Amino acid sequence: MKTIEELIEAGVEGKRVFVRADLNVPLDGSTITDDGRIRAVAPTIAKLAAAGAKVVVASHLGRPKGAPDPQFSLAPAAERLGEILGKGVAFATDTVGDSAAATVAALANGEVALLENLRFNAGETSKDDAERKAFAEQLAALADLYVGDGFGAVHRKHASVFDLPALLPHAAGDLIATEVGVLKKLTEDVARPYVVVLGGAKVSDKLGVIDNLLEKADRILIGGGMAYTFLKAKGHEVGISLLQADQIPTVLEYLARAEARGVEFVLPVDVLVSAEFPDLKTKAPANPSTVAADAIPADQEGLDIGPGTRELYAAKLADAGTVFWNGPMGVFEHPDYANGTKAVAQALLDSDAFTVVGGGDSAAAVRILGFDETKFGHISTGGGASLEYLEGKTLPGLAALED
Ligand code: ADP
Ligand code: MG
């Protein structure tokens, strides 16, 4: 993989450099609630601009359905990127249309533009190779060189991630280089015990990584939504909690393999439950109750790990040599369900381990809950991407950056 230093050495002055970034930040209306992903890619953009490139930045935001949808506009990200860079960022109101063409044409050397959300175009995420390639060609018309630095999207076979680098001379940005360096470390010699903490909402996305981690980790702690599929597999009632019933056979197989391999598999011993999902807008008190993990009432839903589990998980992290954490322990967006996530974050800081936090929401949670991000070994900007890397899969966006 070429670095941006090599690209710069070969000459970028006056060249239009397309930077595929991941500016998929959490929004409350048009207010960015965590700008971590923008700050993470800003140095790459600044470096290219300083070398005299005309920098054309592109990203996705959320999951629009292949057509413009104002709630997923990147306009707030353009403003924030400008503040971070300390200079104006021109914003194109479309991705490959008249506005994009005019905005890019107007760039002077060292200036930066951001295109509107890539996913406003059906070609970006299309499963049809020809449709994706056609969109990639439209993007290629806006640039001379390509820099891949959207780590959070490298596991996607999307036009801007996979097809576009094949059409232009390309390099990997500094963020991708850092992310891959850290994750590579986790697949090689790790300081033990190697403890993995998994939570979050996207159960099916996350079960796969366990398959691979069962061969590497010493201890796996489960929280968040996926815990209930495990509790159900163990024969417990989970009420109306998140559940992926079709995954129960897989989960049972994991539990059996963990036992056979001597991997410690730890499930919550208690959880916070309520009959209702909390109001994340008003944050009105949710008044959850604490119940044992094998005694969830049929009409209630588990929304965080309980106090006994917080203590248990902190103890299981205390002697760790390496920790990989993906996925909040509960619905941390509501203060009544943030304590499990807080306890795990604190346990990571209290340990002497090399700590890696992966996942958009997990990374945002750490910062939103007031932890100092510099105290962690590494906070990854990619959730699915980091998990798939650890699964040993080939990531389309990384493969495309190979020479
Ligand atoms: P990441 O982005 O870090 O990979 P996910 O996107 O998988 O994490 O999950 C984050 C979301 O999981 C948060 O919005 C949180 O509210 C939700 N979540 C955590 N625990 C639960 C639970 N028990 N039930 C429902 N949602 C949950
Ligand atoms: Mg997420």
For 177-189, give the secondary structure using H, E and C. HHHHHHHHHHHCC
Q: Pairing between strand 289-292 and 270-274?
A: antiparallel
Q: How far is the CA of 391 from the centre of ligand 1 (A)?
A: 20
Q: What is the dihedral of CA 251, 257, 258, 261, to 10 degrees?
A: -170
**Triad 235, 241, 245: Cα angle to 5°:** 55
Task: Give every residue of the chain whose pLDDT is below 50, as ranges.
Answer: none
pLDDT tens, residue by residue, 261-317 = 999 999 999 999 999 999 999 999 999 999 999 999 999 999 999 999 999 999 999
User: Would residue 37 show up in a list of annotated catalytic residues for this protein?
Assistant: yes
Instruction: Note whether 41 and 74 are within 8 A (CB).
Output: no
Indicate which atom in ligand 1 lies nearest the CA of residue 328.
Answer: 19
Ligand 1 first shell, C-beta below 6 A: 199-202, 224-225, 242, 302-303, 326-328, 330-331, 333, 359-362, 383
Q: State which of 37, 305, 331 you would mutate to test the pocket of ligand 1, scoring each by most atoms of that ligand within 8 A of its C-beta.
A: 331
DSSP β-bridge partners for residue 378: 356
* Closest CA relative to residue 320, chosen from 190, 188, 187, 192: 192
Q: How far is the CA of 384 from the centre of ligand 2 (A)?
A: 8
Q: Which residues contact 291 (CB under 8 A, 6 or more apart)?
A: 270, 271, 273, 297, 300, 306
pLDDT given for residue 139 in this prediction? 98
- Marked catalytic residue, from 15, 202, 206, 232: 202
Q: How far is the CA of 201 from the centre of ligand 2 (A)?
A: 8
pLDDT tens, residue by residue, 347-374 = 999 999 999 999 889 998 999 999 999 9
pLDDT given for residue 131 in this prediction? 98
pLDDT given for residue 350 in this prediction? 97
- Burial class, 144, CB count within 10 angstroms (exposed 0-12 / middle 13-18 / buried 19+): middle
DSSP β-bridge partners for residue 148: 20, 172
For 295-344, give the secondary structure using H, E and C. CCCCCCEEEEECHHHHHHHHHHHHCCCEEEEECCCCCCCCHHHCHHHHHH
